[in-house]
Amino acid sequence: MTFLRVIIATATAAALTAHPQPAAAPSVQVLRNTLVDPRAIYFVSYDGLVNQATFQQDGILTHAGHQYTAWYTADRSAMIARRTYNGTAQPGPWQTLKLPHRLTADDSHNVISLGVSRQDGRLHIAMDTHNTAVHYVKSAPGLVNAATWSLAQFGPVQRTLDGVGLGDITYPQFLATPEGRLQLSYRTGGSGNGTNELAEYDNGTWTRLGRWQSATGTYTTAHGGSTTRNMYLHGLDYGPSGRLHAAYTWREGNFGVICAPGGISNHDTGYVYSDDRGRTWKTANDATAAVTGTGTQVSINTPNQVVDPLNPDHALMNQEAQAVDSQGRPHVLISYVPGRFTQCVTDFVAGRRANARNFHLRRLADGTWRKVEVPVPLQAFGRSRLVLDARDNAYVIMPGGRIVAASAAAGWSDWTLRYDAAGLNAFGEIVVDDSAARTTGVISLAYQERSSGTTPSPLRVLDVRLLG
């Protein structure tokens, strides 16, 4: 493999306490905390909750003066709620609908993702899939622009996209193109042997664009080799110029490549982009890496696709976070156990809880990449989210709801704890609506309270102002 050059830096920060000392990093202000459901379903699977996975795209979103969120309630029913919300005025009460579907498996992969097709004003819902056919629902046209809504405005639960079959999939994620088309990213195949594909909704019709990533190729370490893998996306986001950015990590099918059986075979951070709505993909040095729907696909052997090399012995998390700044440059959040703690993580979950750290990786104007450690211990297994405000200040929302921030003016080197989440009692990952981060400067954090066994617990939304 060929690697692009990465500059590694050490971050300096103010004292990381519940009441941090003044620093250049931006602050945050909690505005309100609202109850969505007092009895959301609760079970721990893959060390996470089915209602709370940062890779949901989106689990909570705002469009045309309404905010939407979706989850499974105590009786396993899929729920959707909305409230009037513009990020500035006091929001209205949550209005809740129960969809005609119940969660089929106690599996935290089977999340609910929401998307909006701006062309026709429909709300789209993809849910409850882990290597199975998707459960898909769409609303009547115009619903997201209407003052009222009802269950009668939603169609039946389908196992295809209006007749377009995707096969067995995982991780359905919606993204809107700049001109208002709606796309769906998803994985076919499984962990360690899977591929990423795209479908597109345009003028009321779904089209399967096809595969753009290959599972084939050879990867070798000192411990062994692997000939299959899958790409886990850290994000799939359009920037201000219309460029589609995709950062990712690889997971090998053969765990023999790792130093100990309790680890995970995730390795490296890769990056590609598309300037034609996901049809053609290029590496950071502008070489064509893939043409969607053809045999030319991003693979482990694609030159220059790795921008931050890391071997699979450091408990690197898959599907962390990505954002694009006002200059169109990608920022990627990754987390792993740094080498100063160990060169061989023998327990993926315990090792991350004890020693994992977040790292902020960004592309510079000259095409190189700069990486800075966020000097706040993760103290958790799961993923964080990355948000950029109108001034490109960065905010990391960590598991449990802690918020760490850094300023663009300081080159994102002044990471400081700004919210310690005391009293939230949030379990694991936080689902974030950052659609108004660059306009009103307010984000919403959906979280579920910690419980035990299978006892349902409250699902809540915390509104936070970014004071950058």
Residue 6: the pLDDT is: 52
Arithmetic mean of pLDDT over the chain: 95
Residue 11: the pLDDT is: 45
Strands 369-373 and 6-9: parallel
Residue 143 lies in a domain: yes
258 to 107, 316, 342: CA distances (angstroms): 26, 12, 14
Strands (E) in 258-393, as ranges, are 266-274, 280-283, 288-291, 306-308, 321-324, 330-336, 357-363, 369-373, 385-388
Measuring CA to CA, which residue among 114, 186, 126, 108 is closest to residue 381? Answer: 108
Q: 280: left (phi > 0), else alpha (psi -120 to 50), else beta? A: beta
Residue 24: the pLDDT is: 75
Strands 288-291 and 66-72: unpaired
Residue 105 lies in a domain: yes
Helix (H, G, I), strand (E, B) or coil at 375: coil
Confidence of residue 398 (pLDDT cuts 50, 70, 90): very high
2 has a pLDDT exceeding 80 = no
> DSSP for 195-243?
EEEEEEEETTEEEEEEE-B---S-EE-SS-EES-EEEEEEEEEE-TTS-
Tokens of 157: 């639960």
Alpha carbon distance 343, 351 (integer Å): 11
Give every CB contact of residue 68 below 8 A, 6+ residues apart in sequence: 60, 61, 62, 80, 81, 82, 114, 123
Measuring CA to CA, which residue among 367, 243, 218, 225 is closest to residue 299? Answer: 218
- For residue 370, the tally of other CB atoms under 10 A from its CB is 16
9 has a pLDDT exceeding 80 = no
Q: Express each pLDDT in 332-368 by its tens digit.
A: 999 999 999 999 999 999 999 999 999 999 999 999 9
253 to 273, 280, 423: CA distances (angstroms): 25, 26, 41
Residue 431 lies in a domain: yes
Strands (E) in 140-181, as ranges, are 169-176
Alpha carbon distance 194, 21 (integer Å): 47
5 has a pLDDT exceeding 60 = no
Residue owning tokens 């986001």: 237
Residue 118 parent element (H or E): none
Alpha carbon distance 36, 342 (integer Å): 42
The CATH number that applies at residue 281 is 2.120.10.10
111 has a pLDDT exceeding 90 = yes
Alpha carbon distance 276, 278 (integer Å): 6
Residue 98 lies in a domain: yes
Q: Express each pLDDT in 42-77 by its tens digit.
A: 999 999 999 999 999 999 999 999 999 999 999 999
94 has a pLDDT exceeding 90 = yes
Residue 177: the pLDDT is: 98
Tokens of 343: 């060169």
Give residue 281's domain range. 6-467
Alpha carbon distance 236, 360 (integer Å): 17
Q: Express each pLDDT in 98-107 by its tens digit.
A: 999 999 999 9
Whether residue 366 has a cis bond before it, omega within 30° of 0: no
Measuring CA to CA, which residue among 316, 320, 465 is closest to residue 389? Answer: 465
16 has a pLDDT exceeding 60 = no
89 has a pLDDT exceeding 90 = no
Alpha carbon distance 335, 375 (integer Å): 12
Number of domains the chain contains: 1
Residue 27 lies in a domain: yes
Residue 1 lies in a domain: no
Residue 376: the pLDDT is: 97
Q: Express each pLDDT in 257-296 by its tens digit.
A: 999 999 999 999 999 999 999 999 999 999 999 999 999 9
Q: What percent of the chain has pLDDT over 90?
A: 94
Q: Express each pLDDT in 195-241 by its tens digit.
A: 999 999 999 999 999 999 999 999 999 999 999 999 999 999 999 99
Q: Express each pLDDT in 116-155 by its tens digit.
A: 999 999 999 999 999 999 999 999 999 999 999 999 999 9
Which whole number is the average pLDDT over 2-20? 44
Residue 327: the pLDDT is: 98
Alpha carbon distance 74, 56 (integer Å): 20
